[in-house]
Amino acid sequence: MFTKLERTKVFRDPLYGFITVDYKIIADLIDSREVQRLRRIRQLSGVSMVFQTAEHSRFTHSLGVYQMANLVCENVEGMDTISEYEKIVFLCSALLHDIGHGPYSHAFEHTTLENHENMTVKIILNPNTTVNKILTRASSTLASDIASVIAHDNRFPLIESLVSSQLDVDRMDYLSRDAYYTGTAYGHIDYLKILRSMKVVSNKLLVRASGVHSIESYLMSRYHMYFQVYFHPVGRAYECILESIYKRIKDLYLERGYFSDSVRAFLNVLNDSNDIESYIEIDDAYVNGFVKAFTKSEDPILNKLSNAFMDRHLFSYIDLNDEPDEDLVEAIKEKYDNENKKYFYYDVSVSAVAYLHAKKSEIYDIKVLLPNGKIKSLDAYSPIIKSLADFSKTIKRIYYFED
Amino acid sequence: MFTKLERTKVFRDPLYGFITVDYKIIADLIDSREVQRLRRIRQLSGVSMVFQTAEHSRFTHSLGVYQMANLVCENVEGMDTISEYEKIVFLCSALLHDIGHGPYSHAFEHTTLENHENMTVKIILNPNTTVNKILTRASSTLASDIASVIAHDNRFPLIESLVSSQLDVDRMDYLSRDAYYTGTAYGHIDYLKILRSMKVVSNKLLVRASGVHSIESYLMSRYHMYFQVYFHPVGRAYECILESIYKRIKDLYLERGYFSDSVRAFLNVLNDSNDIESYIEIDDAYVNGFVKAFTKSEDPILNKLSNAFMDRHLFSYIDLNDEPDEDLVEAIKEKYDNENKKYFYYDVSVSAVAYLHAKKSEIYDIKVLLPNGKIKSLDAYSPIIKSLADFSKTIKRIYYFED
Amino acid sequence: MFTKLERTKVFRDPLYGFITVDYKIIADLIDSREVQRLRRIRQLSGVSMVFQTAEHSRFTHSLGVYQMANLVCENVEGMDTISEYEKIVFLCSALLHDIGHGPYSHAFEHTTLENHENMTVKIILNPNTTVNKILTRASSTLASDIASVIAHDNRFPLIESLVSSQLDVDRMDYLSRDAYYTGTAYGHIDYLKILRSMKVVSNKLLVRASGVHSIESYLMSRYHMYFQVYFHPVGRAYECILESIYKRIKDLYLERGYFSDSVRAFLNVLNDSNDIESYIEIDDAYVNGFVKAFTKSEDPILNKLSNAFMDRHLFSYIDLNDEPDEDLVEAIKEKYDNENKKYFYYDVSVSAVAYLHAKKSEIYDIKVLLPNGKIKSLDAYSPIIKSLADFSKTIKRIYYFED
Amino acid sequence: MFTKLERTKVFRDPLYGFITVDYKIIADLIDSREVQRLRRIRQLSGVSMVFQTAEHSRFTHSLGVYQMANLVCENVEGMDTISEYEKIVFLCSALLHDIGHGPYSHAFEHTTLENHENMTVKIILNPNTTVNKILTRASSTLASDIASVIAHDNRFPLIESLVSSQLDVDRMDYLSRDAYYTGTAYGHIDYLKILRSMKVVSNKLLVRASGVHSIESYLMSRYHMYFQVYFHPVGRAYECILESIYKRIKDLYLERGYFSDSVRAFLNVLNDSNDIESYIEIDDAYVNGFVKAFTKSEDPILNKLSNAFMDRHLFSYIDLNDEPDEDLVEAIKEKYDNENKKYFYYDVSVSAVAYLHAKKSEIYDIKVLLPNGKIKSLDAYSPIIKSLADFSKTIKRIYYFED
């Protein structure tokens, strides 16, 4: 039995009206410094350079994912068959799934070579973190079970699929939320209808045939959000500068073995990705802080990049899909020799599918429950998804820095 | 020169904030009895039996289409190259495009064998209608030019494509509006972005490459609205009753040559689809009125159907796509002999594509303007649309009436 | 124990996402012909002549009030102390509170001299109505207990105050809903916050001090909706015509004792307000139908008024609050002699207060629960409400008909 | 003549759809580092500790105010009578009105003793700022004229009243925006209706009588946002910590004349509020940075406060309006001796009126234009505003820090 709060705690949210917290462990986790740190990391990194109103943090998203998990427990038929312990594993996994994110996460991962899921697992398992202490106090197995869900160990397949799959509480929150904050029309999904069409049977998540249209619509929304928002060329141009700055710091450090104090925590993490104490210190403000300091760096490359970041002097780009002048593209490519290429030139290629088909990944497939009780894969059931079986879209761009 | 109002007239609208009217001719048309009649015809006919909040009329939609045309004139680059006369043709066509609709239009057209576009043209051209008088007073050619746009005569190709194509002011209004009133998430389209990405070049409507994602998203929204709302099985079940009532009245009339006064206007129209005076009389209330009267009809079939309509005793249906029990389906089909089949049984098959590809209809194809000035068909430019070239979805259902 | 449905029935609603029905009795009542009739009566009568998008019916509002009652049961602290029987009384009262409304209700009540609450009670208690049969089948006392709530007999004081007071499920739904459909900003109320701040103590409804701002804001919203929407001069101008038509029919009938069949049900109700069978027949379409017929009446007054109604030739009006030219006003008043005045001239005066203070009506007062457990009247607790103790706003207009 | 951009630049915004920039000077100002700095200062400071989704910056608000000014120019009758130069003064004043804000502005102003309007003026007039250079390049008088508007010098009375009065572009944007981001219902204002009811006559801003209800509703919204959001006790509790930290730094500095480098810019500003270079450096991240550093300070007070800030160990508070236990209040007050009181105890009193009446401030009064051409003060015209002439609400709280 997990302790309940005397009176339900609520957080206002424009998407759900209220986010409600009944369990003490959830309230404690929200107050932990590892979760609070997410207030200082923007959800969409460089995207707010284009969609300036998308300034929301990973914290508000994390609360939203938790609330979506709540809504799953309340609305999905069959969810009452799971135990309270499993429910807590689910709610905590939803809340904590992003605590491993660094600032400007994409560029950060490229430099540290650690993905954020791994970092989330490390933070949950590290006995010195507040999160770990709260979990362990409540139950000795809780931290490792949640870590298992995040790591996709297949020990809690239902919860795993609810937390991270092609149709999960994470995506359902961020599509709606990012649409709300950017002001675009693409991410509107009919989550209430989706939840009502889901059914848990024998510990498996199914979708009733009558709900398939809302699933198709959700998949299309996700696809459009990718190309309209997440892959927006200007957002990426901003992240290119940052990736180069990270890279240059790393190179200078490897070369000289010494660096200014302002990046100590960052270097600690580069040296040892288990240094959670340092990792937690790093947030958007930390990065903005050292970049600001490096605008006066004596290293000409770091100096140039840091000033570019502060003055929003972004990388230029050419979209190769739009039939650009080939001579121009060649001329640009030639201009960047090897050393320059490292910091001042990027070939970027981003791809997305509308749906990852069963033949590519059985475990990610969405299963449809027909009125007659049969179960079919979404591929087989939905004509439009079937037509998109071999579809994927790739955008290729070159990014280059002009003085 | 068309006369302007002294002070702009405005109508509140939840989608656009305000609908604004500057030209006197538009204000007069709105007040005409043929346009006012649309207040008494629901936009979505039987759909409000399922989505009970979708009670909006064709009148509010027509004002919305007019306003969308206004927005096109204000926001689309190159629209300032058309003459004021053409602009008036466009605005009037947008406002008037639906005046030919009858009540529960689908069933109505099946019975009268006249489609609503033809009726719109007849009303515009008939010298006895208020609409015709208003148009003719302003310019002797206006009525026939607007009729030409509605009839797709290809005399005003740009305006035709803006009024009715795959991407037009009609669809852009109704998708947003029907989503607003049903409360579904599917119809949200980014019309401001779409308008800003359009460009008129040499009297042709193009879409800039940078706007293609919003077009793709709009096409998908349309597709989902079809299957989620417009083809909803229960809405259709309601319209089946009405179609049978219309049919039975027609048959009794042909057989006996006489009928109650309560359907005189309806019979007049059956006899002569040019009897606009009678046509205008027919609206939702008119139909509800005679059906109510027929609940006491001595004809057992008309009596049964009318009572079913009033008591919402709907046709039952089986969705053949969902692998129903074949024996059951056969048994039902056999139950309905020929006479019964006519009124109490329907095979319904509805289809929709995501996009009507150029190979099927060149004139409906959407043209994309690349940054380098080249023009490509949307088929060729958009990978996802290309993948859907051979896709169409068909839903087959049987509807049958059980006492 | 009241029977539950096997699977929860849901209705889409743009305000609440979904309206959910768990009890069979509620599903049956929704399907009853007395509730279904409300689909054919517009919520805002003549207001849709000004706010053309406000075409929603009393049916969608009634479902909304039911859902708000549902939300009260789920969200208000202390509501779990009432019995299931009382809960059913509450839910049914919420759903049925408007079934006594006639078409264009204001004008209708002026003519029949019966208010809609009385008619609601009669319909509930009349053993021939479907509603009564459904209620009585479930429990022999249910119909009379619900009627008692509607009639404010003070037998169920808590439920009465939740169904009809200054802060009730009816107002909370219609303010939000009418704002949604008119597209105005005034009616947005924070109903989730209001529900969470309510508390039932010893069968009394209290509002926590922390929720008083949301109550103040709700009261102001209501005030603004009155003057911006419900009392809009043009909506009233439309209802004036109808009131005169009703009056003229009544006078002709009293004079001649005979009338066309098209108004038989209407005359039946004038003769005997207990003729529920006739009452149920009368809806918007019924009224529109006989008015259309009277456009060819031989009585010149009825003829003139009916044509005015159909052609939207509205009464003119002068707002006396806006310092009009007094000579003009006098001249108009003099123009209408006694006979004319009856049908072609109205003095209209509408008033609203922001809050009906305790000194005026103790039973309508809202009670505030302080953190220290004390209870204060809203008058005494809220400085802004206190300042408005003697405030009421009256708008005086003259309406007159010009040929 | 001010240069226009070749193609209109647009920014997405959830409130207005798009923010549009036609003038080059506006595009340049948006890109200036003084305006870009506002991306790093949250609009609502401590409020995001309560309403966690209110993470928007002063930058997005500033763009919004600029767009509202745009909408005024497009929609308000009579605005076409002002010169292009005045229009540019207006648009720039709207965009720049907040550039003088510091991080957690309330606490900041208490410490620096400079209000943000003065700082805005200084930044605009200082020849070293990018903003000043852009303005001066366009016209030699522009910077001083904009500064004059901000400083309320009464040289551009119409523009001043549009930029800052009781009904201005600043308030109209922030009420809507803060409501959108907090998810509350209070701030919804009908700005389109308000703009359409405004009229500029002889360089004075008037409101037509027909728009007075929307003005009343706006004033009430503002009032409710104050008490529901801006004065929320928890938001203030957070700002108390920060004010004490600022105070402690100042005191230690005055005492010792030396301090860590991490607060150099802050101390520079304390010494000389004309040190714009230092001022610009200070943003939310800067403050968060030095507070984080001081969690290891050797000064016990600074150490304690900084740790409280990081761990969100907020000041406790008692609301004196809610009849708290007086003995308890006395006991708390006594616990804090003078030295403690300075950093660990605050008496806070906040007041708001619904409307600042003409008798208190003639220049802030809103003027109503009657249909007959007369002009009345809002006080005299609106009964509800008249009733609130002597109303103001004050909330008194004590805040105290408990270890």
The string of DSSP letters for D223-235 reads HHHIIIIIT-HHH
Please answer whether residues D100 and D222 qualify as being in contact, where contact means their C-beta atoms are separated by less than 8 angstroms: no
CA D264 to chain centre: 26
Least confident interval from A177-181, A224-228, B362-366, C157-161 = B362-366
Reference D71, options D213, D210, D169, D179; nearest CA is D169
A66 token code pair? 């938790």
Interval D197-247: pLDDT, tens:
999 999 999 999 999 999 999 999 999 999 999 999 999 999 999 999 999
Q: What local confidence, expressed as pLDDT, does residue C10 receive?
A: 94
Q: What local confidence, expressed as pLDDT, does residue A157 receive?
A: 94
Chain B residues near residue A216 by CB distance under 8 angstroms: 224
**Mean pLDDT in chain D?**
93
**Mean pLDDT in chain B?**
93
Interval D319-342: pLDDT, tens:
999 899 999 999 999 888 776 788
Please answer whether residues A235 and A45 qualify as being in contact, where contact means their C-beta atoms are separated by less than 8 angstroms: yes
Reference B396, options B350, B354, B353, B352; nearest CA is B350
Q: What local confidence, expressed as pLDDT, does residue B259 receive?
A: 77
Interval C211-225 mean pLDDT: 94
Interval C28-38 mean pLDDT: 95
Nearest-CA distance D135 → chain B (Å): 29
Considering only CB atoms, D10 lies closest to which of B10, B17, B196, namely B196
Considering only CB atoms, B18 lies closest to which of D10, D17, D192, namely D192
pLDDT band at D289 (very low <50, low <70, confident <90, very high): confident
- Within 10 angstroms of residue C68's Cβ, the number of other Cβ atoms is 26
Q: What local confidence, expressed as pLDDT, does residue C148 receive?
A: 97
Please report where in the chains the tokens 């048994």 appear, as a residue: B331
Please answer whether residues D41 and D154 qualify as being in contact, where contact means their C-beta atoms are separated by less than 8 angstroms: no
CA gap C306, C294 in Å, rounded: 6
Residue D11, pLDDT above cutoff 90 = yes
Residue B13, pLDDT above cutoff 90 = yes
Interval A33-55: pLDDT, tens:
999 999 999 999 989 999 999 99
Please answer whether residues B35 and B95 qualify as being in contact, where contact means their C-beta atoms are separated by less than 8 angstroms: yes
- Within 10 angstroms of residue D297's Cβ, the number of other Cβ atoms is 20
Contact A14 D180 (CB under 8 A): yes
Chain B residues near residue D196 by CB distance under 8 angstroms: 10, 18
Chain B residues near residue A390 by CB distance under 8 angstroms: 387
Q: What local confidence, expressed as pLDDT, does residue D93 receive?
A: 98
B110 token code pair? 């099946």
CA gap B234, B49 in Å, rounded: 7
Q: What local confidence, expressed as pLDDT, does residue D269 receive?
A: 92
A244 token code pair? 């180069």
Q: What local confidence, expressed as pLDDT, does residue A329 receive?
A: 93
Sheet with B204-208: strands ordered across: B198-201, B204-208, B367-369, B375-377
CA gap C294, C312 in Å, rounded: 15
- Listed in sequence order, the DSSP H helices in D126-232 are 130-138, 142-150, 157-163, 169-182, 191-197, 212-225
Strand blocks (E) in A14-121: 17-23
Considering only CB atoms, B323 lies closest to which of A221, A374, A391, namely A374
Q: What local confidence, expressed as pLDDT, does residue C91 receive?
A: 98
Contact A196 C18 (CB under 8 A): yes
Q: What local confidence, expressed as pLDDT, does residue A78 receive?
A: 96
Interval D124-136: pLDDT, tens:
999 999 999 999 9
Residues belonging to chain D = 403
Q: What local confidence, expressed as pLDDT, does residue B159 receive?
A: 97
Residue D68, pLDDT above cutoff 80 = yes
Interval A298-353: pLDDT, tens:
999 999 999 999 888 899 999 999 899 999 999 999 888 776 788 999 999 999 98
B44 contact partners, CB below 8 Å, separation of at least 6: B51, B54, B56, B178, B182, B229, B230, B235
pLDDT band at A110 (very low <50, low <70, confident <90, very high): confident
CA closest to D388 among chain C residues: C387
Contact B288 C40 (CB under 8 A): yes
The one-letter code for the residue type at B152 is: H
- Within 10 angstroms of residue A278's Cβ, the number of other Cβ atoms is 18
A140 token code pair? 């000795």
CA closest to D17 among chain B residues: B192
Interval D349-360: pLDDT, tens:
999 998 988 777
Residue D178, pLDDT above cutoff 90 = yes
| Terminal-residue alpha carbon distance, chain B | 63
Beta bridge partners of A399: A317, A346
Interval D120-171: pLDDT, tens:
999 999 999 999 999 999 999 999 999 999 999 999 999 999 999 999 999 9
Interval C101-106 mean pLDDT: 89
Residue A185, pLDDT above cutoff 90 = no
Q: What percent of chain C has pLDDT over 90?
A: 80
Contact B17 D196 (CB under 8 A): no
Q: Which chains touch C (3 or more CB pairs under 8 A)?
A: A, B, D
Interval B43-47 mean pLDDT: 92
Q: What percent of chain D has pLDDT over 70?
A: 100
CA gap A67, A64 in Å, rounded: 5
- The contact set of D with A (CB < 8 A) is 11-15, 17, 31, 33, 36, 39-40, 48, 51-53, 55-57, 59-60, 63, 180-184, 281, 284-286, 288-289, 292, 310-312
CA gap D237, A300 in Å, rounded: 45
* Phi, psi for B140 (deg, rounded to 5): -65, -25
Burial of B288: CB neighbours in 10 Å, binned 0-12, 13-18, 19+: buried
Contact B213 A228 (CB under 8 A): yes
CA gap C196, C45 in Å, rounded: 33
C interface test, pick of D215, D323, D375, D382 with most C CB neighbours within 10 Å: D323
Q: Which chains touch B (3 or more CB pairs under 8 A)?
A: A, C, D
Q: What percent of chain A has pLDDT over 90?
A: 80
Interval C279-336: pLDDT, tens:
999 999 899 889 988 999 999 999 999 999 988 889 999 999 989 999 999 999 888 8
Residue A69 C-beta-side C-alpha neighbours within 13 Å: 28
Residue C40, pLDDT above cutoff 80 = yes
| Terminal-residue alpha carbon distance, chain A | 63
The one-letter code for the residue type at C53 is: T
Please answer whether residues D104 and D239 qualify as being in contact, where contact means their C-beta atoms are separated by less than 8 angstroms: yes
Nearest-CA distance C183 → chain B (Å): 4
Interval A71-92: pLDDT, tens:
999 999 999 999 999 999 999 9
CA closest to B38 among chain C residues: C52
**D247-260 core/surface letters (b: 16 or more CB in 10 A; e: else):** bbbbebbeeeeeee
**Mean pLDDT in chain C?**
93
Interval A275-308: pLDDT, tens:
999 999 999 989 988 998 899 999 999 999 999 9
DSSP code, position D32: S
Chain A residues near residue C16 by CB distance under 8 angstroms: none
Reference D252, options D295, D296, D302; nearest CA is D302
DSSP code, position A364: G
Residue A392 C-beta-side C-alpha neighbours within 13 Å: 11
Interval C162-184: pLDDT, tens:
999 999 999 999 999 999 999 98
Residue B60, pLDDT above cutoff 80 = yes
Q: What local confidence, expressed as pLDDT, does residue A180 receive?
A: 95
Q: What local confidence, expressed as pLDDT, does residue D121 receive?
A: 97
Reference C356, options C381, C382, C392; nearest CA is C392
Residue A359, pLDDT above cutoff 80 = no
Contact A183 D13 (CB under 8 A): yes
Q: What local confidence, expressed as pLDDT, does residue D241 receive?
A: 95
Contact C391 D370 (CB under 8 A): no
CA gap A349, A395 in Å, rounded: 6
Q: What local confidence, expressed as pLDDT, does residue D390 receive?
A: 83
A interface test, pick of D52, D66, D261, D309 with most A CB neighbours within 10 Å: D52
| Terminal-residue alpha carbon distance, chain D | 63
pLDDT band at D364 (very low <50, low <70, confident <90, very high): confident
Q: What local confidence, expressed as pLDDT, does residue B363 receive?
A: 73
Contact B181 C14 (CB under 8 A): yes
Nearest-CA distance A213 → chain B (Å): 7
- The contact set of D with C (CB < 8 A) is 184-186, 188-190, 193, 209, 213-214, 216-217, 220-221, 223-224, 227-228, 319, 322-325, 354, 370-372, 374, 383-384, 387-388, 390-393
Residue C247, pLDDT above cutoff 90 = yes
Residue D259, pLDDT above cutoff 80 = no
CA gap B185, A214 in Å, rounded: 9
Q: What percent of chain B has pLDDT over 70?
A: 100
Chain A residues near residue C192 by CB distance under 8 angstroms: 17-18
Interval B238-260 mean pLDDT: 90
Considering only CB atoms, B322 lies closest to which of A209, A216, A354, namely A209
pLDDT band at D112 (very low <50, low <70, confident <90, very high): confident
Nearest-CA distance B167 → chain C (Å): 24
Q: What local confidence, expressed as pLDDT, does residue C141 receive?
A: 98
CA gap D317, D340 in Å, rounded: 16
Considering only CB atoms, A192 lies closest to which of C18, C192, C196, namely C18
Nearest-CA distance C376 → chain B (Å): 40
